[in-house]
Amino acid sequence: MALKLSCLHCGQVNRVPQDRLSAGPKCGTCGAALLPGKPMALDFATLEKAARTDELPLLVDFWAPWCGPCRMMAPEFEKAAAMLQGTARLAKIDTQSHPDATVRFNIQGIPAFILFRDGRERARLTGARPAGQLADWTRSHIATS
């Protein structure tokens, strides 16, 4: 079975056989890694496309550079990305640079995390957390969706 994954660099939708997810798949258009193992910064258009299209869970951190808890959360989010490698992709969107994302996804406070899968929001969490807790939360919602 092949999964649809949007390239977080160029936005192109790729089909990746599920048994090849651990082989470091690359975008057929731009050659970027589809599962880089670290959070990727997104713009609003790429976020909307990936949230709507991707069949592998996508965990998005809504943050802003002026937010102290967001800056403290950044290294924990990096660790969570490594813990969730192959299970989910992690991405970040700067709500100061992309205020449309804040409105579109009804973000009330940051840092905020939304887990998307198969074109739908599956779960939402607000506030800074340790990487292990964020990874466990993500896995529990992937298992139930």
Mean pLDDT score, 94-109: 94
Determine, yes or no, domain membership for 65. Answer: yes
Residue with the larger pLDDT of the pair 1 and 70: 70
Q: Write down the pLDDT at residue 52.
A: 93
- CATH number at 84 reads 3.40.30.10
Structure confidence at residue 51 (pLDDT): 93
Task: Examine the pLDDT at 107 and tell me if it is beyond 70.
Answer: yes
pLDDT above 90: residue 24 = no
User: Which residues contact residue 103 at a Cβ distance below 8 angstroms, ignoring those fewer than 6 apart?
Assistant: none
Answer yes or no: 67 catalytic. yes
In a domain, 126, yes or no: yes
Q: How much is the pTM?
A: 0.93
Percentage of the chain lying above the pLDDT 90 cut: 83
Q: How far apart are CA 121 and CA 104, in angstroms?
A: 12
Q: What is the pLDDT of residues 26-36, one digit of tens each?
A: 999 999 999 98
The total domain count for the chain is 1
| Active site annotation includes 27 | no
Integer angstrom CA distances of residue 7 from 11, 48, 101, 105, 106: 5, 12, 19, 21, 24
Domain that holds residue 108: 36-144
Angle at 75 (CA atoms; ends 18, 71), nearest 5 degrees: 125
pLDDT in the model for residue 144: 75
Q: Which residues pair with 58 in a beta bridge?
A: 89, 116
Q: Average pLDDT for residues 98-106, to the nearest whole number? A: 94
Cis amide leading into 111 (omega within 30): yes
| Burial call 58-88: b when 16+ CB within 10 Å, e when fewer | bbbbbbbeebeebeebeebbeebbebbbeeb
66-94 per-position pLDDT tens digit: 999 999 999 999 999 999 988 899 999 99
Report yes or no: 90 and 81 within 8 Å, Cβ to Cβ: yes
* Structure confidence at residue 114 (pLDDT): 97
Kindly state whether residue 7 falls inside one of the protein's structural domains.
no
Q: Is the pLDDT of residue 145 over 80?
A: no
Q: Is 41 inside a domain boundary?
A: yes
Residues sharing a CB contact under 8 Å with residue 125, sequence separation 6 or more, in sequence order: 112, 113, 134, 137
Please, which pLDDT band fits residue 98 given cuts at 50, 70 and 90?
A: very high
**Is residue 84, in this structure, part of any structural domain at all?**
yes
